[in-house]
């Protein structure tokens, strides 16, 4: 496959595949709020789709959808001193439509939790300058300002007047962060892509044939960024918080891009790009036959086949390595020091850090790779639920480049993930 063909197929694979269902839900929520606050039946008026979906930069698996409901200005006096009441009335109006669906208030918004995605509806009052006042119930309540229309307009402006590659870059960056478990919000990704493309004219008019170089240069641009607490959002210039440093992850992505570009048009290039972007990147047209000495059962499962993946939070796992008669050590330290991991060790994997709010479940995946695993017909790779202790015990039994992955799943969606490579010598 040519570079152009690979990236065209890749972007096709990233298209939101439940757009009709999302539009249906948006319409039903809008109808409920118009009935409550205006006495009308409209499913389209007085609402604004915002966030990644509204900016047309979301991808398949998008699960956190945002909408503004513009309140009648005549209702301002009813709620100006009671932010909680506005959110409660919004919740009750939606709950009347969805009596069997979880509808709850979460400080700034009303959350409507469907299967595999959630809509956050925010009641707002439009201001003369086009911005919106929204209620914040924290610390007794206050009103804050948001400017999503300016962000949407700036996306349109950059697409119309500079480059149509902007939205494509945003989508590919989302696939990367979902593959590697990087906790970056959608607005931060769009802002960084915007800043990068505005820093150069190199990709203003380039076709898909240059997307390999564009991705390479984008990740290098991010790797060279200084540590910041926030960025000024495209269009609105409002602060976008950096929840997790991304420089190390983007430097790794840059190195992976270099390897994929070096492979050129060979079949191996597809697999190398998959290491950057995940399973949505197309496979090579020619599939090489296995060189295994013995047939084995391919029992590997993939989390994307079980749940949508929309990484928004951070999860880090660690592994303690123990052998009778020896002092235990952590696997990440051993790998950093190039200490070999030998057989007959006990491996205790654990969730070291996680910042997912609210309730969620943990799942694990243990995959054995290499000739020894295939000869012993012990590839494994099944995905299973944690037993409640956020830990998983394994042992080193045979050589190979093994992998352990951990997933945090909230409302049916993978919102955080991490993996450790386990090279047994």
Q: What is the mean pLDDT of residues 75-87?
A: 96
Here the CATH number for the domain that contains residue 402 is 2.60.40.10
Q: How confident is the model at residue 240 (pLDDT cuts 50, 70, 90)?
A: very high
> 365 and 387 share a domain?
yes
In a domain, 283, yes or no: no
> 309 and 192 share a domain?
no
> 353 and 245 share a domain?
no
In a domain, 249, yes or no: yes
> Distance between CA 55 and CA 171 in Å, rounded?
11
In a domain, 4, yes or no: no
- pLDDT of 153 > 90? The answer is yes
Q: How confident is the model at residue 291 (pLDDT cuts 50, 70, 90)?
A: very low
Closest CA to 40 of 12, 69, 15, 60: 69
Q: Look-up: residue for tokens 């939205």?
A: 167
In a domain, 269, yes or no: no
> 135 and 32 share a domain?
yes
> Distance between CA 208 and CA 222 in Å, rounded?
21
Q: Look-up: residue for tokens 């997912």?
A: 356
> 298 and 417 share a domain?
yes
> 142 and 174 share a domain?
no
> 87 and 200 share a domain?
no
> 238 and 295 share a domain?
no
Q: Which residue has the higher pLDDT, 116 or 424?
A: 116
How many angstroms from the chain centroid is the CA of residue 341?
32
Report the alpha-carbon angle 178-279-234, nearest 5.
35
Number of domains in the chain: 3
Where is the domain boundary, 146, 174, 194? Answer: 146
Contact 36, 78 (CB under 8 A): no
Q: CA dist 356 to 52, 173, 423, Å?
A: 20, 21, 29
In a domain, 14, yes or no: no
> 299 and 418 share a domain?
yes
Where is the domain boundary, 86, 121, 146? Answer: 146
pLDDT at site 140 = 82
> 24 and 136 share a domain?
yes
Here the CATH number for the domain that contains residue 122 is 3.30.460.90
Min mean pLDDT across 4-18, 240-254, 292-306 is at 292-306
- pLDDT of 146 > 90? The answer is yes
User: Around Cβ 262, how many Cβ atoms within 10 Å?
Assistant: 11
> 39 and 140 share a domain?
yes
Please write the tens of the pLDDT for every residue from 155-203.
999 999 999 999 999 999 999 999 999 999 999 999 999 999 999 999 9
In a domain, 277, yes or no: no
pLDDT at site 292 = 45
Q: What is the mean pLDDT of residues 221-230?
A: 97
pLDDT at site 326 = 67
Point out which residues pair with 34 in neighbouring strands: none
> 98 and 162 share a domain?
no
In a domain, 339, yes or no: yes
In a domain, 273, yes or no: no
Q: What is the mean pLDDT of residues 264-274?
A: 88
Q: Look-up: residue for tokens 């150069």?
A: 200
pLDDT at site 125 = 98
Domain of 394 in residue numbering reads as: 289-424
Q: How confident is the model at residue 289 (pLDDT cuts 50, 70, 90)?
A: very low
Where is the domain boundary, 86, 112, 146? Answer: 146
- pLDDT of 77 > 90? The answer is yes
Structure tokens at 406: 């951990």
């Amino acid at each position: 496959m040519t570079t152009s063909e690979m990236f065209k197929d890749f972007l096709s694979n990233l298209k939101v595949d439940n757009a009709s269902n999302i539009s249906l839900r948006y319409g039903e929520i809008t109808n409920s709020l118009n009935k409550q606050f205006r006495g009308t039946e409209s499913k389209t008026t007085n609402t604004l789709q915002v966030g990644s979906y509204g900016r047309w930069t979301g991808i398949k698996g998008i699960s956190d959808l945002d909408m503004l409901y513009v309140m009648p200005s005549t209702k301002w006096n009813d709620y100006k001193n009671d932010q909680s009441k506005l959110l409660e009335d919004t919740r009750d109006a939606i709950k009347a439509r969805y009596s069997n669906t979880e509808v709850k208030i979460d400080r700034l918004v009303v959350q409507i939790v469907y299967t595999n995605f959630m809509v956050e509806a925010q009641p707002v009052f439009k201001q003369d300058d086009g911005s919106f006042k929204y209620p914040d119930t924290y610390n007794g309540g206050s009103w804050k300002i948001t400017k999503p229309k300016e962000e949407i307009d700036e996306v349109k402006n950059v697409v119309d007047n500079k480059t149509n590659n902007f939205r494509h870059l945003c989508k590919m960056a989302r696939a990367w962060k979902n593959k590697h478990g990087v906790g970056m919000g959608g607005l931060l990704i769009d802002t960084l892509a915007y800043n990068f493309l505005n820093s150069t004219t190199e990709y203003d008019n380039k076709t898909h044939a240059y997307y390999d170089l564009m991705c390479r240069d984008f990740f290098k641009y991010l790797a060279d960024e200084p540590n910041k607490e926030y960025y000024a959002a495209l269009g609105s210039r409002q602060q976008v918080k950096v929840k997790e440093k991304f420089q190390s992850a983007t430097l790794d992505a840059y190195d992976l891009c270099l390897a994929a570009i070096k492979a050129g048009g060979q079949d191996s290039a597809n697999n190398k790009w998959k290491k950057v972007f995940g399973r949505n990147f197309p496979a090579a047209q020619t599939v090489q036959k296995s060189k295994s000495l013995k047939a084995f059962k391919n029992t590997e499962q993939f989390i994307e086949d079980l749940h949508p993946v929309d990484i928004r939070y951070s999860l880090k796992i660690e592994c303690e390595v123990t052998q009778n008669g020896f002092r235990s050590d952590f696997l990440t330290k051993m790998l950093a020091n190039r200490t070999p991991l030998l057989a007959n060790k006990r491996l205790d994997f654990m969730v070291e850090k996680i910042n997912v709010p609210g309730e969620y479940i943990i799942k694990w995946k243990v995959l054995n790779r290499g000739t020894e695993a295939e000869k012993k017909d012990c590839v494994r790779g099944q995905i299973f639920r944690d037993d409640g202790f956020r830990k998983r015990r394994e042992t080193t039994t045979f050589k190979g480049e093994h992998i352990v992955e951990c997933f945090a799943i909230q409302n049916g969606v993978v919102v955080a993930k991490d993996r450790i490579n386990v090279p047994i010598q």
